[in-house]
Amino acid sequence: MRWEQAAPEVRARVQDSFERQGLMAHLGARITHVGPGRVHLVLPARPEVTQQNGYVHAGATSAVADSAGGYAALTLFPEECDVLTVEYKINLLAPAAGDHVEAVGTVLRSGRTLTVCQLEVYGVRGTGERTLVATGQQTLIRLDRRSR
């Protein structure tokens, strides 16, 4: 399925912010889609991000879900704003198996101060088979970079 792309300047702002995240770089995550109110991240399944049974660890799964939602919110904020997570909840539905996991953050409501996102994480096999492995919801706060 093809999703609408965000404007080039929004994609560049999201990518620039993402590249400053040490954890995402450490995990090996990358952005695969930036659209208005929607961001997809991919995390390759490597031994460094797995748990004892070989599945992608819940901590890594949760981290990419959190970042996908945060960047989805950022796509709708003015340029001078930034984003921080206030809270999020993840339900782990199935073991995160596959060649990689894909986290999708989708804005449900973008407010003046708080934004709420839906979070989904899929285990993806090389065949293209996708399994929903986690779902959640997140609340984020919009920050004015000039006031910090």
The 10s digit of each residue's pLDDT in 6-63 is: 999 999 999 999 999 999 999 999 999 999 999 999 999 999 999 999 999 999 999 9
Crossing angle for the helix pair 8-19 and 58-74, nearest 10 degrees?
140
Closest listed residue to residue 101, CA positions, set 58, 146, 72: 58
Provide, rounded to the nearest whole percent, the portion of the chain with pLDDT above 90: 93
At 107 the pLDDT is 98
Domain extent, residue 125, equals 8-147
Please check whether residue 43 lies inside any domain of the structure.
Answer: yes
- DSSP designation for 6: P
Closest listed residue to residue 37, CA positions, set 120, 136, 103, 107: 107
Please check whether residue 113 lies inside any domain of the structure.
Answer: yes
Q: What is the CATH number of the domain that holds 63?
A: 3.10.129.10
At 139 the pLDDT is 98
Q: How many domains does the chain have?
A: 1
DSSP secondary structure string for all residues of 28-70: T-EEEEEETTEEEEEEE--GGGB-TTSSBPHHHHHHHHHHHHH
Record the tokens describing residue 110, joined without a space.
């973008």
pLDDT band with cut points at 50, 70 and 90 for residue 147: low
Please check whether residue 37 lies inside any domain of the structure.
Answer: yes
* pTM for the predicted model, two decimal places: 0.94
Closest listed residue to residue 97, CA positions, set 148, 66, 51, 65: 51
